[in-house]
Amino acid sequence: MALRVSDDDAQWEIAIPLDNCVLEALRVQMARIQFDGKTPPQLCRRIAERIAISVLEVLDVDLKPPTQAQVSFAIAIARELNVSLPGEALLFRGAMGEFLDRYAELFNARHKRST
């Protein structure tokens, strides 16, 4: 048996295979939870957090979000050089790398001259 994670907009689904004993234990656990229909139970939040972390870990490197250091550096570059920072660079590490590769040398050269 499997749990299913789906993206309704893109219409795809991932089946997460679970041993029958684990799936049955999850069913029992969910039956124990008092669910008011509005607030997801703590167990659901914990499962969602773990799945989100796992998804992030398995993405191709270029599709992961940029680091905070990259974002800070890119914002400084955009301000100093008066260039626009593409929205895609704020979403994906690959696009951020392209932006930094394009402008970092010029930015650093200007800073060396001004110090």
Give Cα 66 distance to the centre of its chain.
9
3-state secondary structure of 36: coil
- Where do the domains of the chain lie? 2-58, 68-114
pLDDT at 33 over 90: no
pTM equals 0.75
What is the identity of the amino acid at 67? T
pLDDT, mean of residues 54-75:
97
pLDDT at 83: 97
Query: Which of 39-48, 81-90, 105-114 bottoms out in mean pLDDT, i.e. has the lowest?
Result: 39-48
